[in-house]
Every structure is written in C-alpha cells, then in structure tokens.
C-alpha cells in the first residue's frame, strides 16, 4: 500500500490521510510492500510506517534554551508531513545544571514548555507524533558554559560519574567532579520532572531517555568512564543502577508506553567504548524487558564501517556493520519479548528496507531527514533524496532558515498533497 492522500475542497493545503490506491482492494495491503513501509504499534501509537526521524541536535534555541518561536515548530511540522510518522526531538536538557552547551533547548522552564507546545501542536496537526529526548551532558558539557550559566565555579558544577576528563579537553579545564549519591538522587528526579513537563504540559507523545554517545547515563553505564567504588560503580549491576533508576522514575511519571531508551553499545564517541559491552548491555536490557515489558521501544546505534565504491563519495557508499560489533544480541532479546527496536546508523533506502525486512527493526534516519522533509514519501516511492549542507547543520541561535526549513518537498509530494514548498512558507 502506498501512502496516499485525499483532496479536500479548500484553498488550504490538503490534509493528508491514508487510503489504498484504487488499483488495490480498499482495506488490504500488498504482500509485496516492504516491512519498512508497513504499520506498526509503538507504545500508545499506531505508526503508518517504520521510518523514524532520529534525534538531531540543531542548536536553534535562544540563550535561555527556549526553542526559537515559529522556526522550530515549522522545522518539525515539515518533517511530520507524512501522517503517522514518529519524530524524536533533538536532545533537550532536563535542567540547567545538566547542560553545558549554548543554544540547545531545555524543558524545565515555563518559557521552554510554552515553546515546545507550539512544536507538538504543529506535528499533531499533520497527523504525526513526536517524542522528546531527555538529555544530561555530564563530562561532555563545556565547563566555561556551565560556569557562565550557573554563576558558580566550573570545578563545582562540571560533573560526571567519576573524575575522568575527556581526552580532547584543554589542560586548563577542570576534571569533572564525581556526583555524590544525594546529587545522583536529584538527577533522577530531574529526569522524572522533565518527562512530566514534556508529556503532561508540553504535549509530547512520549520521551526518549538519552543513554547513548558518552553523555551522563552512558558515563555511569560503561566501565571506561565509571570507576566508582560505591553502589553506582564496579559490577555490571552497580553500573546499571543509575540508568535503571532514571528509567524507573520516568516510567513512574509518564508510563511505560510513553517511554523509550537510546543506547550505543559499540560507540567510541567521547572516549567511550568498553572492551566487551555485551555482558553489560545484556544485563541492562534483560532487566528492562522483565520489569517493563510494555516499554515503548529501545533505540540503538550501529557502529558502521563505510566502504566507498570506486569513484563515489562516502555519502553514496554501501554500509556494513563493523565485524564483531553487531547489535544482533539486542535484537534477539527484544524479539523474544516483542519489544519494538529502532536502529540508527547511516542507513540508505536499500539498507533500511533490508534491515526492516530481515531483522524487524524500525529504522531511524537522521541527516536524510534534515534535507528531505518528506523522507518517508520519497523512500517508499524510490524517489531521489537531497544531500544536506553540513556547514549549516549547527547554526547556534540563528533565525536564518537556510539549511533548516528551506529544504524542498519532492515535486510529486507537492502535486499529490497540495503542500506548500518550504521556501515559500515564510512569505505566506
């Protein structure tokens, strides 16, 4: 079944709906439809397909971490234009003390919540859904930025699981301070409150806990960044304690069906990368599956090896998971319990279709969603995809729409839906 649309008698853009093309029986789907484009239930949501928008940091918030009015809502609204799509928001600070980057959004203040309300309303108006990704930086934060925003010395507010600095930081920067147990308890509650703010106040359909890529949750989980000797360090069970406490607190506030978790077992980003992550992640995921069988989803990143074809750039390569660093052990655990699994890792149309078909994953696309706001439509129909402008991925606090909300819909999408091309929207 193709994603299609019904025109309505109005001068406004036609509201997209789903129906079967006339050539197919009205209530059936072709057996040849790839799994990537088949419906699936995730938490409380019935998704129309398995193409997920990955969380993408864009730094389009003001100095108080408030998403920029209108612009951010327009950005997400464009990428929600294919109904039944799940978007995962950019990583969003749970509190000022959890930050350390300028112009990244937050979810703790009234102003931030109000700005996010406009985003969720815009996404829901398109018939799609959005989760907020909950973020705490830990040692990944910039000490000087924390000092500036919190009005305290960096040595006091720059924290992590242990006092282990990042290898690429200046010798002038302080080492992170290991969080005390009372402070850990405070962070757990900050995650819970942020989840409540997102779902119950800002209108998000759920939240995703960012437990990947070397940020605070990951810093507790992995033995390369956690050298604690108390109940939060040492054994696999102890290193998993903080991630599980955060998950418990969030689920208690918003429910299993509105909670997801992102993990990166094989990533070496920001000095991460255990020698053998399988035992740790097997314990963590088994514990989650046993305690929270109705969790919305797990989301994992793949570590990929890019092999260019002769004469072609990396963006056009075939992609292979690095040998010995596969997430198949996680797939087996999730499959046995019926837990939806989202995977991310530079997928193309072809590799996404193959993995969804053979392994049952939902596929998260990141950079392709930046430059192709109608990406699910393009992928299903085999249309060409536009390449994004890397130089404009991060434009801190900028109101300039270039490289943000000016990427076009495909002409076929415009003709079928009556959508207004993004480049024209700001002038209407």
pLDDT at residue 13, as a whole number: 40
- pLDDT tens track for 101-146: 999 999 999 999 999 999 999 999 999 999 999 999 999 999 999 9
Cα separation values, 7 from 85, 415, 418, Å: 20, 11, 8
Vertex 283 angle, CA 279 and 288, to 5°: 150
Q: Is residue 202 within 8 Å of residue 120, measured between CB atoms?
A: yes
What was the pLDDT predicted at 52? 99
Listed by start position, the domains of the chain span 35-403
pTM, entire model? 0.90
Contacts of 411 (CB under 8 A, 6+ apart): none
Average of pLDDT values for 246-269?
Answer: 98
Q: Provide the pLDDT for residue 322.
A: 62
Q: Which of 75, 215, 297, 365 is catalytic?
A: 215
Smallest CA-to-CA distance from 133 within 193, 204, 71 is with: 204
Mean pLDDT calculated for residue range 207-216: 98
Task: Express each pLDDT in 23-35 by its tens digit.
Answer: 333 334 566 899 9
Phi-psi category of 271—alpha, beta or left, where left has phi over 0 and alpha has psi -120 to 50? left
Assigned token pair, 290: 């046993």
pLDDT of residue 24: 31
| 14 has a pLDDT exceeding 80 | no
Residue 3 has what pLDDT?
A: 47
Predicted confidence (pLDDT) per residue in 392-423, tens digit:
888 888 888 899 999 999 999 999 999 999 86
> What's the confidence (pLDDT) of residue 319?
54
Q: Hunting for tokens 């959508």 — which residue is that?
A: 419
Higher pLDDT, 393 or 382: 382
C-alpha 344, offset from chain centre: 9
Phi, psi of 146 (to 5 degrees): -60, -45
Catalytic site includes residue 292: no
pLDDT tens, position by position, 64-103: 999 998 999 999 999 999 999 999 999 999 999 999 999 9
Going by CATH, does the domain composed of 35-403 fall within 3.20.20.70?
Answer: yes
pLDDT of residue 144: 96
């Amino acid at each position: 079944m193709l994603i299609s649309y019904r025109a309505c008698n109005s001068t406004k853009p036609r509201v997209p709906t789903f129906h079967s093309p006339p050539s197919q029986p009205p209530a059936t789907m072709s057996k040849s439809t790839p799994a990537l484009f088949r419906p699936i239930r995730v938490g409380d949501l019935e998704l129309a397909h398995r193409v997920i928008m990955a969380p993408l940091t864009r730094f389009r918030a003001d100095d108080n971490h408030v998403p920029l009015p209108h612009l951010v809502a327009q950005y997400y609204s464009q990428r929600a234009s294919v109904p039944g799509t799940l978007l995962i928001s950019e990583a969003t600070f749970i509190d000022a003390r959890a930050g350390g980057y300028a112009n990244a959004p937050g979810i703790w203040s009234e102003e931030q919540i109000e700005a996010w309300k406009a985003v969720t309303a815009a996404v829901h108006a398109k018939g799609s859904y959005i989760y907020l990704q909950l973020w705490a930086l830990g040692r990944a934060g910039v000490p000087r930025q924390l000092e500036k925003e919190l009005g305290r010395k960096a040595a006091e507010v720059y924290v992590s699981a242990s006092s282990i600095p990042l290898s690429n930081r200046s010798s002038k920067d302080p080492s992170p301070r290991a969080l005390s147990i009372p402070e850990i308890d405070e962070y757990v509650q900050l995650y819970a409150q942020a989840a409540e703010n997102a779902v119950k106040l800002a209108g998000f359909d759920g939240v995703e806990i960012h437990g990947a890529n070397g940020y605070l949750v990951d810093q507790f989980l992995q033995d390369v960044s956690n050298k604690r000797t108390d109940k939060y360090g040492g054994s696999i069970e102890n290193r998993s304690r903080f991630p599980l406490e955060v998950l418990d607190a969030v689920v208690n506030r918003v429910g299993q069906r509105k909670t997801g978790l992102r993990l990166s077992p094989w990533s070496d980003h920001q000095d991460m990368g255990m020698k053998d992550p399988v035992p740790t992640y097997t314990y963590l995921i088994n514990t989650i599956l046993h305690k929270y069988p109705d969790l919305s989803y797990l989301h994992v990143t793949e570590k990929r090896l890019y092999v260019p074809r002769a004469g072609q750039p990396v963006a056009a390569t075939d992609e292979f998971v690095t040998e010995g660093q596969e997430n198949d052990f996680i797939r087996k655990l999730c499959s046995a319990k019926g837990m939806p699994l989202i995977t991310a890792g530079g997928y193309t149309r072809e590799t996404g279709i193959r993995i969804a078909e053979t392994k049952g994953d939902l596929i998260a696309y990141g950079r392709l969603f930046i430059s192709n706001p109608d990406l699910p439509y393009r992928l299903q129909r085999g249309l060409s995809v536009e390449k994004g402008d890397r130089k404009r991925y991060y434009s801190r606090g900028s109101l300039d729409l270039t490289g943000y909300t000016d990427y076009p819909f495909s002409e076929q999408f415009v003709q079928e839906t009556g959508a207004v091309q993004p480049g024209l929207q700001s002038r209407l």
